[in-house]
Amino acid sequence: MPSKADLTDLVLGAHGFLGRRLVRRLEADGRRVIAVGREAGDLAVPEVARSALGRAPVARIFHFATRQRTGPSQYDIQAELLAVNARMHLNVLEAWRQLQPQAKLITPGSSCTYPESREPLTEASFGLGPLHPSVAGYALAKQVLATGCAAYARQYGLRYLHCVLATTYGPGDHTEADRSHFVGALLHRAAAEKRRGATCFTVWGDPATVREVLHADDQIDAILRADAQFTDTILNCAADTPVTVGAVAEAVLRALDWQVPIERPAESFQGTPYKMLDSGRFLAATGWRPRISLDDGLRQLVREAYP
């Protein structure tokens, strides 16, 4: 007979874009969920982290809390993103060891923790090169988290999984220019420009920029599939399906049924030119494939958010 703890998961960052969907999915799977969001306070304060993790014994802790920014303004706040996120991650690690040592800690990682490369990035390249300046502090804090999970697991006999994710999008995504990742940002901007009657669509940076993109529901599904088969490792959890920013922009225009030329403003923000994960370990072990194509996901988003 499973104990109450075996049936319960704790989600930190439960009000964020991925956190909300994760809570809904776990509940749909019949799990009890302790959802901890902003109302609990700032996890960068040790007492807040201890109180968030000290509620009741759980089987898994999903640490999805993060302070994140996108676009040009992130260049100027990398010290802040390092300070806040590194403190938060260290507090969660320490509270995990002290209060929930039976729980598996599952953490989302970012492709920005890998060095720049023109090749798909395997887990073995973690920490092997300099970080892109647009994300240097944020990525260093994620490296603290990934390395911290491994160190705590080894020293204290704990279990963890650090899943490196694709760029996600879907209903409920951020739309603010300094918080939204490019898929949601492009759709939001295109919908507004179409309404205004614009005669072209502006897309920042080089259209040949490469990313991996997953609908948020697929990304959550991938994390849960990974958790069922992997422990104590960093694992790339995407689909080996690279796409260019230009191709996504064209898919956005198709979804909105808006036929205008794409233009690139001079000096517009450019992130890392190429970020592609090699998710071969994950895909070979699980046989996982995404269910929602980019065109279907964007059309669904248009119906729900930009009718």
* Binding site residues, ligand F7E, CB under 6 A: 68, 70-71, 110, 112, 135, 138, 167, 180-182, 185-186, 189, 203-205, 209, 211, 245, 269-272, 275
The dihedral region occupied by 94, where left means phi > 0, alpha psi between -120 and 50, and beta the remainder, is alpha
Q: Give 269 or 306: the residue with its C-beta nearer to ligand F7E.
A: 269
Q: Give 57 or 207: the residue with its C-beta nearer to ligand F7E.
A: 207
Q: Give 185 or 214: the residue with its C-beta nearer to ligand F7E.
A: 185
* 213: β partners: 167
Interatomic CA distance for residues 259 and 133, integer angstroms: 35
Rg of the chain on CA atoms, in Å: 19
CA distances from 250 to 28, 186, 247 (A): 34, 10, 5
Residue 106: what residue type? I
Nearest to 8 by CA among 88, 104, 95, 148: 104
**Least gap, CB of 118 to ligand F7E (angstroms):** 15
Query: Max alpha carbon distance in the chain (Å)?
Result: 64
Q: Give 60 or 189: the residue with its C-beta nearer to ligand F7E.
A: 189
**Range 227-241 burial, b when 16+ CB lie within 10 A, else e:** beebeebbbbbbbee
Residue 236: what residue type? N
Q: Give 87 or 275: the residue with its C-beta nearer to ligand F7E.
A: 275
Q: Give 114 or 158: the residue with its C-beta nearer to ligand F7E.
A: 114
**Least gap, CB of 222 to ligand F7E (angstroms):** 15
Alpha helices in 157-264 (DSSP H): 182-196, 216-229, 245-256
**What is the phi/psi pair of residue 234, to 5°?**
-90, 135
**Least gap, CB of 66 to ligand F7E (angstroms):** 9
**Least gap, CB of 294 to ligand F7E (angstroms):** 14
**Least gap, CB of 71 to ligand F7E (angstroms):** 5
**Least gap, CB of 33 to ligand F7E (angstroms):** 25
Q: Give 93 or 276: the residue with its C-beta nearer to ligand F7E.
A: 276
**Least gap, CB of 204 to ligand F7E (angstroms):** 4
